Amino acid sequence: MTPTIDELNGTPCKTYLVIAGGEAALVDPLRDRLDTYRAELARRGVALRWVIDTHTHADHLMLTRDAKAALGAPFVMHTASPSPLVDRHVSDGDALALGGASLAVIATPGHTPDSMCLVTGGALLSGDTVLIGGSGRTDFPGGDAGAQYDAVTTRLFTLPEGTIVYPGHDYKGRATTTIGDERRHSARYAGRTRDEYVALMASLDLPMPDKVQLALQVNQSGFEPEEVGFPRVEEAAALAEITPAELAARLGGDAPPVLLDVREPEEFVGELGHVEGSLLVPLDALARRMPKLLGYADREIVVVCRAGARSATAGAILERAGFRDIKNLAGGVLAWRASGGPVCR
Ligand SMILES: [Fe+2]
């Protein structure tokens, strides 16, 4: 079965409604347009099966807990997503069933670590990985131009030439492109080696979009600014880091650091588990619990979350409160586990 794919926003920032067999997937929704999407679902008489983000966006606000509940369908993102709101994490090679069709996941890290594309019935939802004649920028936190080049050239450009590409953005009013056109004519990728592509992306020097700080912190954490009191992104980015290997060595040594896990309680005891001995103080409870935490202000503290984004925010909040020795576990519990670190639940 071949799904239908429609763009719902009519703006440079694209949201797609994919429909097959009476079921729908909403891809990259904008938080302030949920009423439009619900009206569209009702008008077409289809049931919303999945809400999917192709990556952690920096240019618009993603779903909140309430918005997700109002849509009433599971929220899907790649495993590398830092968000605590994701109901189903998917990886390269996974497929999401949709009314007799399926959406196949291709991991395409580069624009962000959690970028992915979806293939269904001769179409590719390319997120910000392949744009029409272009590619998503790779200068946001966690961006990697080399990884993006590899994913695009080995995974996307090897799809059938006629595959119709639905990009996450277009600033010139265009709707789609094809894999063949992009492979042959993309102003970014065509005719460039990996090194040339990396050099090109490093030379772009693009301005930061409006409110990038707010959007990233909200989208990475699932919290509103007033719930957390976000520090500036530069403060969070300046935090010292510790690798999983370094942490493992330190935990086995004489003076182990205090581990402070800032995820949600259900994540702490959930599928990923936590590093043994961790204190749990969710990010949005940090300010409230500060009086008690101040007893640790002179200790070395390693802040921990799923992917290292919320913990960077938490670490910056703690430094601002006077804590003297804060380190962020690089890559979070995902990286800890990937390096063979033990967890408990
Ligand atoms: Fe993006």
Domain regions of the chain by residue span: 4-202, 223-338
Q: For residue 109, what are its two tokens?
A: 């890290």
- Quote the ligand 1 centre to 166 CA distance (angstroms): 14
Q: Which residue has the tokens 């001769």?
A: 122
Q: Yes or no: is domain 4-202 CATH 1.10.3860.10?
A: no
Q: Do the Cβ atoms of 217 and 306 come closer than 8 Å? A: no
**pLDDT tens across 233-272, in order?**
777 778 999 999 999 999 999 999 999 999 999 999 999 9
Q: What is the pLDDT of residue 130?
A: 97
pTM of the model: 0.93
- Quote the ligand 1 centre to 170 CA distance (angstroms): 12
**pLDDT tens across 56-96, in order?**
999 899 998 889 999 999 999 999 999 999 999 999 999 99
- Quote the ligand 1 centre to 340 CA distance (angstroms): 31
- Quote the ligand 1 centre to 34 CA distance (angstroms): 19
- Quote the ligand 1 centre to 129 CA distance (angstroms): 8
- Quote the ligand 1 centre to 68 CA distance (angstroms): 20
Q: What is the pLDDT of residue 1?
A: 81
**All residues with CB under 5 Å from ion ligand 1:** 57, 128
Which positions ≥6 away from 233 have C-beta within 8 Å? 141, 212, 213, 216, 217
Rounded to the nearest 10°, the torsion over CA 317, 319, 322, 325 is 140
Q: Yes or no: is domain 223-338 CATH 3.40.50.300?
A: no
Q: Do the Cβ atoms of 21 and 101 come closer than 8 Å? A: yes
Topology agreement, domain 4-202 and domain 223-338: no
Question: What average pLDDT score do residues 105-111 get?
Answer: 98
Q: How far apart are CA 149 and CA 130, in angstroms?
A: 10
